Structure formats: structure tokens, C-alpha cells
Structure 1
Amino acid sequence: MARSLINVPKSAAAGSVIEIKTLISHPMETGFRPGADGRLVPRNIITEFVCRFENEEIFRAELFPASSANPYLTFTTVATRSGTFTFTWSGDNGFSQTERAAIAVT
């Protein structure tokens, strides 16, 4: 399992814009680099990131071989009600990781 860091405010006023930051540790091998034996190192990247709030998709990103290792994504959304964000990273070789973070809206 990869290590992820998520920064979501614990609380926010209703209608306010909040910033969400995510980072996941992942080697992100492009598949174009030769290894020590001269053969290409197999591709191993995160290809998709999805953020949902109470099962409603609010942000999606497709990642490609040019993405850096340990992809860092930041985006904004409007705080409408209290609930839980679900963050899912998917990639090559069946990689999938899901994390959750809650917010209280007043």
C-alpha cells in the first residue's frame, strides 16, 4: 500500500470555498527508461485519481507517464454540507488505493 497525505479542512462555513490537497507516494515508472540490463523497465504509473463527496464525483484527473513520482494534486470545492470525501487512486498492475476524510459544515 502506498502512503498518502490528504489535507482537508476539519470544518468550514456553508458556502465557503475550500482547498483540498492530496499526495501519494508512488514510483511512477514511465516504461520508457532502460534498466541495468538494457531492457525497458515496465510502466508502473497511477493513471486516475477520483474524489467523491458522499458518493458524488466532484473531481477527476487522468495521469500519464509524464507525471512525476509522488503525484501531488490540489483543487477547490464549495462546502455545502457535512460529510465524507473519498479519494481513490488507480493505476497499472491493478493498483488501487482509497482514503477518506470528513468535514463538518456549519
Structure 2
Amino acid sequence: MNDLPTNHARISEAHRLLTSVPVKLSDAVNELSRGSGVYAWWAAPSVFPDLPGPPNENAPSLRLLYIGLATNLRRRILSNHLRRSGTSTLRRTLAGLLVSEGYRTI
């Protein structure tokens, strides 16, 4: 059985959603699914100017900082990224980049 058309449609939909105009975290929190999915964090190019993330196709003033995959989007965003910085790949990566800027974590 060939799932290529189904996979292509899913990839196209994920790309469309990931490159649409980003939603503010405060607005997204109530809508986060408990299902699996892909998510992205965007920021202005002035944030980590040496990081070569691509611009958002629908919001060119923003650039991709991070893309992640989760089996439970709500838990990953709320518990992992926003509460427990030590287990968040996003926050650990950002902390590593900030160290080179002279910031220190506690």
C-alpha cells in the first residue's frame, strides 16, 4: 500500500500551518491540542542576529528560531518549554546561545 499521497498532503498541511502568521503564545495556550504535531517558535531577526533561521513566508518580520515535534503539543509547550527549562531543548539551546552573549543561567 502506498501512503505517499497521504504523507504528501500531511507534509503540505504542516508546512502551511508552520509558515502561517504565528500566533502569540498567550493566545495559543488555550487552543493547544493534546494530540501530536509539529510546532515552531519565531522571533525578530534582531534576536540572535547570527542565527540563520529562514523568514516566515507570511510574516517576513519574523524568523524561525526553533521547530519541534511532540506527541502531546499541550504538554510539550506548557510543561516542557514554559515550566522546566532544564528538560526543554528549546530553552537549553537559547541558554547556550545567550552564554556567548554574556548572559548566565542559574
TM-score (norm 1): 0.32
Between structure 1 and structure 2, the one with the greater Rg is 1
